[in-house]
Amino acid sequence: MYFGASGSASSAGGLPFMSFEHQFAGPSHGTFEFSGQLPTAGKTQLFQAIVAKNVESVKALLFAGVAVSVKDQLGNEPLHSAVYTGLADIVELLLKFGANPNAKGLLDRSPLHLAVSNPKIVDALLKGGADPSDQDGNGDTPLHLALSELPTRPAGKPPPVVDALVGAGCDVNRPNEAGVSPFLKLLAAPHEGNGLYQLVIFFLEHGGSVHQGLRDGRTPLQLFLARAGDMWATGSWEGDGANRAFHLFLEKGVAIETATASSRGPLALSLFRVHRPDIKLATMLCERLDPNQDLGRGETLLHKILGSYGWGKVKEVEALVKVLLRRGADASHQNLDGQTPLAVLFETRRDPRVAESIVQMLLDKNARVSQRVIVKAARRFPQNGRILRRLLQSYARQLGSLHETSESHSTPAEQQWWDEWVHAARVGEWASIEQLLSQSHMRRYPNKAGPKFALIALAALVETYIWTVKSVCETPIEKVSQRECVAEALRLCRSQELPVDMACFDYLIELCL
């Protein structure tokens, strides 16, 4: 069927066709008159029928053969007007009669651009072949516009329109004329709440690029951290959507060494500055970051983990330290306050099980021991002789390579106590140690460090001497001589009730066999 220039209808085969002089009465929109003047008047009448939301009139016009791809004075086609009405029935009718779902209208926008607030119409357009990644005159895709419709606090699930557009293949990384992709727009949006982070996860899982940033140089992770920082400060990150989103950033290979937007140091490392990340996240960071990178004030990851981590999970914390030491972390690195990882470890009261294990791991990597660290350990763990013994023995062995002769202490008596202990340890001969053991003032440390500390410190000197003897004892004659030295040392320790390690008595038995 076609319509001639006069507007009368005829069939392609020359059969007569009933002229159109009808009145269409919509159920609630009054009366709409169709004059039968097509296509000139028909174009206007189709628009009018659509604007009047008169489905029956639209249907009659379409069956009459009115053109569906004409434009009004604004450049919009009937399908654009149908979207404005909010009636999916009219949209579906136009699509069935050949309306172009990607037709460009005002501002170079397609019907899909105009439909982003109506999930039902969006579904109809997508089913009708609308391009979900089509760009308007500003380069915005329908997804750009849909994100502008988000509430202040988005729900946990993606909004239906966002879900439909992304599910239909909308490119979440397609930039507009300003260089902003839908994903970047989401990250920079003035929204809040866990629902927003669930949306970030949704975009990351559907191809959101962690490398494509804004023209001003800010990266997706910088935008994310600027948003999520308040959650770190409150400690609510763990188990939250922001935490999962951050995991996804790392899994996608984000450059976590980049400077933060606030210039506070490497991106992901700001996490350790204000928050205790979960173990999985922390392990990922430890495996990927330079273990000796300066995180501010001379602190490394070892400082951060030992200083800010929760200590309820013994094995997990040990695992983090092992990862860093395996990757070459400097166990003796000092921050700007002169604190080594050992010093940070004893800064606050910790689980002695963790402390003992980590102390040994650090000492195995030749961690530098200082007098202040030893005293701090004695105050934190006054009942744990194993920690103190290991620290004291390591310190005694390190004295030969240390340039300074003493450290400054709070009182002259404390200074004198350490000077005498260090002298005996440096000399390393039994005569010097024996003389020190005879000094009654050495049996009590002159500052608060627990009642057992001084005795453990004296015992550590004896133990160091015995292990030195063992290392040089080779011939049978030497064994006889050393057996007498060890026996004498242990007799004196027993008489003075010094808590010498039982391994020393085992060595004496070995010499006697």
Domains and CATH numbers, the chain: 1-131 (1.25.40.20), 134-248 (1.25.40.20), 409-513 (no CATH)
173 band by pLDDT with thresholds 50, 70 and 90: very high
Six token digits for residue 451: 């009642």
Six token digits for residue 37: 């003047």
Give CA–CA dist 326/302, Å, rounded: 12
Give the per-residue pLDDT at 285: 78
Provide the CB-side half-sphere exposure for 116 (13 A, CA). 22
Residue 265 CB coordination number (10 Å): 19
Asked if residues 298 and 334 have their Cβ atoms less than 8 Å apart, the reply is: yes
What average pLDDT does range 158-184 have in this prediction?
97
Among candidate residues 153, 216, 219, the one with its CA nearest the CA of residue 190: 153
Bigger pLDDT: 348 or 482?
A: 482
The predicted-structure confidence for 425-444, as pLDDT tens digits, reads as follows: 999 899 999 999 999 999 99
**Mean pLDDT, rounded, of the chain:** 82
Give the per-residue pLDDT at 25: 33
278 band by pLDDT with thresholds 50, 70 and 90: low
- pTM recorded for the entire structure: 0.64
Give the per-residue pLDDT at 347: 82
Asked if residues 216 and 257 have their Cβ atoms less than 8 Å apart, the reply is: no
Give CA–CA dist 163/206, Å, rounded: 10
Six token digits for residue 184: 């970047």
Among candidate residues 390, 439, 389, the one with its CA nearest the CA of residue 419: 439
Give CA–CA dist 395/332, Å, rounded: 13
Which residues have CB under 8 Å from 95's CB, separation 6+? 79, 101, 124, 125, 128
Give CA–CA dist 360/384, Å, rounded: 14
Give the per-residue pLDDT at 259: 56
Six token digits for residue 488: 């004498």
Strand ranges for 326-441 from DSSP E: none
Dump the DSSP string for 281-328. Answer: HHHHHHHHS-TT---STT--HHHHHHHH---S-HHHHHHHHHHHHHTT
Provide the CB-side half-sphere exposure for 152 (13 A, CA). 0
Give CA–CA dist 483/491, Å, rounded: 12
Q: What is the dihedral of CA 279, 345, 226, 285, to 10 degrees?
A: -40
The predicted-structure confidence for 19-65, as pLDDT tens digits, reads as follows: 333 333 333 333 344 443 334 444 579 999 999 999 999 999 999 99
Instruction: Output DSSP code: residue 260.
Output: P
Among candidate residues 318, 321, 290, the one with its CA nearest the CA of residue 303: 321
Matching residue, tokens 């400060």: 233
What average pLDDT does range 55-77 have in this prediction?
94
Least confident of 47-56, 74-83, 450-459: 450-459
Six token digits for residue 481: 């001589």
Amino acid at 280: K
What average pLDDT does range 483-511 have in this prediction?
91
CA–centroid distance for 10 within its chain: 70
